[in-house]
Structure 1
Amino acid sequence: MKIIQNLLAVSILFAMLTFTSCRTEEVEIIEAPQEEVLVANSPAAILMKNIATNDGSADNIIDNSNCFNILLPVTVFVNGLEIIVDSEDDFNTIEAIFDEFEDDNDDLQIQFPIVIVAADYTQITINNLAEFTALSANCNGPNVSDDDIECLDFQYPIIASIFNANNELLDTITIQTDEQMYNFIDTINVNDIINIQFPITVTTFDGLTITVNDFNELVSTINDYADACDEDDDNDYNDDDCNDCTDNQLTNILTQCTDWTVDKLERNDIDLEDNFTGYTFNFTANGTINITSVGGNYTGTWAASGSGNNISVTVTVPDFTDLNNTWILHEIEQDGETKVDLRLGDDRLRFESDCTGTGGGNVDDTALTNALTMGDWYITYYFDDADETANYNGYVFNFASDGNATTTISGTATPGFWTTSAGDQTALELNLNFGTSVPLDELAEDWDVLEVTNDIIRLKDISGGNGSNDYLTFERNPSGGGPNNLSIVLGSGNWVVSSYTDDGVDETADYNGYQLNFDSNGTVIADNGTPINGTWTTQSSGSVLILDFGTSMPFDELNDDWDVVSITSTQVKVQDVSGGNGGTDILILDKL
C-alpha cells in the first residue's frame, strides 16, 4: 500500500535526537504497513510520549512536586538530621524518620542550590527556596495535571525507521532510554513517516510482561493499564508500604506468632496503648482473638480480606471497644520483632510480637527476671521532663515470677503486673502497669532496659507525645545514689576511652594514648601531648551525658547526648541510638 507523506529534512531531525543511528548506504524501496506507521499527535504517539515522560512524583517526599524531580545527590535536613540522598533507597530513610514519632511536626529542608529535571528532561538550576517555591507552586497535589504514565514501561531497545515521501528508507534509529523516546516522539511532525519495528515489549507495574505486535495493540494495552496503579502524586508516602502484602501472609503471621501486645493505639488523636499494658493477644485461624491479662481473660473476633494496600482487617472485641474497627493494613514489619500496623484515617492500631511465645521470646530476659523477682525494690530515680523521684518515696515494689507485682506504702498494697519483650532501642524492655492511681499511673510504659544487676535496674522510655526521654531506676537501697552521682564520678581523676563502637564497628584504637580530664566548670580536655578541648554536662539528674568536642578529630565522633547505661567509681558506660538508622553507639570510659 502506497504511503504519500513527506519527511522533514533528515538533518533537522537528527540534530534533535541524541541516540544512535545508522544511515543506509543505498536507497531501498520498502512498503511500510499502515498499522506500523507512527503519526504525529496520533493516540499512539501521545501515549508513547506519556510513558516516556520523566516521572516527577517518585521524590515527592522531598519536593512535593509531581512535574519534576531533583537530580541526585541532594542534601536535606530531616527533623534537624542531615541526610545525603544519593539514591531512591534514601527516600525510605526519610520516611522512617518521619514515622518514628506520630505526634511530632515533621520538617524537611533542602540545601540549595539544586538541579531539577523537568517532565521533558530539561535540567534547571534552582538557587534558593524562593525560586523553588515559585516553580513548584502549581506542581503539587492530586489534582495537578500530570500526563506521565507510570503503570507500565517500555523494554528497550526499540528500533524506528525513517522514510521519505517515496517510501525510501533513509535511516534506522535505535532508542535505548525513556529520554531518547521522549525526544524522538517530540520531534515528529505531520510530514514524517516513522515505522516502529514490532513486536515490542512492555512491562506493567505488577511485573507482567506483554508482547505488542502493532500500534493498535499498543494503544489498547496502554489504555488498559494507564490508571491501574497508584502513581503517588498525592504525597501520601505511607500508602504504598504494603504493596506486596496478602491476606494469607497476614493470617499466617498473626496466627503463627503468639502473645501479641498493643504497641500503639490512637483514636481521635488520643493515645490509648497504655490501657493495654500487660495484655497479650493471640489470634486463631478460625477468627478468634484470645486476650489474657492479670485482671482476666477476654475474647473477640477478627477477619481479613483483600490484597496489597487494600487489605481490610475487622477487629471486634466487646469488652474493649477502642480496638473495634474495620482497619486497613498499613504495613507488616519483621525486623527483630514483628509488627502489624493497622490504620483508618488518623486512627491507628499496631500489634507487636516477638514471635516465640513466652517471656522475652527471642530476647534473653533471664538476668532481668532473676533480679526483678528477688527481694524488695525501690524507685530511686524517676524523670519525666523534671525530676519526680520524690513522688515515690516510701513505695516498696515486689515482682512475682508469674507476672504479678505489688507496691506497698504505709501498709496499703496496690496490685500490678509486668511482662518483658523486645525493646524499641534496646534488646529488652520491661512493661509495667500498676493501674490508674497517682503517681503509679506514670509507670505504665514499655521501658527499654539499659542496665540490669542484682542491685540496680535502669530503664528509659521515649514519650509518645513529644518524643522526650523518661528515665526510671529501681535499686535495692531506698536511698539509692543511682544516676545522680555521674558528675561526681567523672569529676574525680583522669579517664581513658577503653571501648568505643560505632554501630558495631570497633573504633577504640582511634583514642589510644588519650587521657580525659573532666573539670567541674564544664570543660573536658583530651590530651595525648596535644590537648583537644571540649565541653561536658549532664542532664536528667545524671541520666544523660552530653559531650561536645567541636570538629576536633577523632573526638568529634563523641559529640552526642549519651544515655547512661551503668556507673561505678571506676567505669562509666553510655550509649546512643541513632535517630537515622537505629544503629547503636557504645562508649566506655575507665578511670586510671
Structure 2
Amino acid sequence: MKNVFAKFMFAALLMGTFTLTSCQKEFEELPDNNDSNAIEASSATATLIKNTSSEEGQNNSIECIDFVYPIDLFSFNINLEITNTVTVNNDTELRLFFTGLGDNDVVGIDFPITLEKYDGTKITINSNAELVTALEAAKDSCDSNQNELCSDEDINEALLGQCKFKITNLDGSFFEELYVDFSGNNIHVYNANTTVVDEGNWSLQNGTLQMNNLSATLANYEGEWKVIDCGDGLFKLKKGEETIVLTKSCEATAGSNDEVASLLKECVWSFTDANDTFIGVVNLKFLQGGEVKFVDENGGLSVTDRYTSWEIDAGAIIFYNANQELISERWKITQYSETEISLDIYNNTELEYQNVLKRDCNESAAACSDADINDALLGQCKFKITNVDGTFSEELLIDFSNNNIHVYDANNTVVEEGNWSLQSGTLSFNNLSMTLANYGGEWKVIECADGLFKLEKGEETLLLTKKCD
C-alpha cells in the first residue's frame, strides 16, 4: 500500500510539474528542486548515484560514502507510465538499475534514505537536493584527502612495526576478539588467549592491502582491501561493501614507558567494567607532576590526592604514597593502544583483578570540576581573555579573586568591574556594564588544562589563559 501511494503521489507531482512548464530543459533541472523527488536518468544526479555505487578504483567512483540498503525505487517514462518498481539491496543492484534506464526515464526514490561515511557517521537524506549535496561533498573529500592520508610508506611503517592490530567492524565489534601481527610481511592472527588461530602473508601496492593464504579463522577476509582512512594507530579497510578497522595494540615493555606515559596524559581514562573494581571510581585523569584525579560515576570529583605520584616503570603504572583504600599500587599493562589499556591490577604481589581503561576525550566532568575552577580563579593570578584564535578587541586581563571581576587593560587601568558565581561547571558573569558589557551571563566551562579554561555561551567561545606576575 505504501508503494502504491508513493507512486500515485509521484505521478501527481510530475503532472504538476508539466502543468507549470513544457520545456524539457526545465524538467532536467528538477533534481535541484527541494520539492521534487524526480531524477532523470541522464541527469548529473543519476551520474553521482552511479559513481557512488561503482566498484572502488573505477573511473569516477566515489569511495568516501556508501548507501545504506535496502532502498525502494520506481521509474516512469516521459508519459508518466510506470516502467519499473524495485527494491535494491546493494551497490551492484543500484548501479544496474540506473544503467538499465532509458535517457527519458524518470526515477523516484522513496525517501528518507541513509548514507554512511567511511568514519561510520550516518546521514539521513530526505530529498534529491540533500542527496546531491552529500554526494558532492563526499566526492570532494575523496579527491582532496584520501591519497595523502594513506601513503604506502606510512602503511608499511605501521604494519611492519612491533605492535599487533586489533581487528573489528566499524562499530568496534567482531565475531571474536582477534589481534593480527603483520611484521615481516607475514600474518599471524591471535585470539584473546594469545593462541595463533590463522596464518598467512600480505603485500601492499597503491594503498591496497592484499591478504593471502588465510585458511582458518580469517579465511573469509582474504583478498584486496583498500586502505580508505588512516590515523594514529588506526586503519580502515574496505573490500566490496565490507569495512573493517585495524587498531594498533602494543605490548608494554620497558622501552614503551614514555609512549604509555604520553598516552595517559591525554584525556580521561575510564574503566570499561566499573563494577569490576573496588576503588569506587569510574574515571581517572593522570596529570603532569604525578597528580591523579578520580571522578565518580556521577561526574563528581571524588579525590584529588596531591600526595600521590605516579610513573610508568617496566610496563606498569606505579603509584607512590597512594591511599591504598582508593587505588592499588601497581597496575601492570598487558596490552595498550591509543584508545585502550588492558591492566592486571596488583596490591603488593597479589593480582586482585583485571580491567581495561578506555580513553575518553570528552573531559567535561573530570577536567572541569567546580573545585578545580574555583581553585584556579580564586588564586593570585589574572587571566587573559581571548577568542579561540588568540585575538580579542583589546588586550585585557581579568582578576577573579574574592569572586569579584576586575578587568585591566594593557596600561593596568581598571576598565570593568563586576562579580561572578559558579555552579555545575557554569560561570555566571554579573554586573558588567563597560568594556565587557556584552559578555555578561552564563558561560559553560567546556575544557580545562593547566592554566587555561575554554568557555562557551551559545555560538561564542572564549579562552581564559592564566597570567601570573
User: Structures share a fold, TM > 0.5?
Assistant: no
The TM-score bracket by the shorter chain reads 0.3 to 0.5
TM-score calculated relative to the size of structure 1: 0.35
TM-score calculated relative to the size of structure 2: 0.42
Bigger Rg, which one:
1
Structure with more relative contact order (C-alpha pairs < 8 Å, separation 6 or more): 1
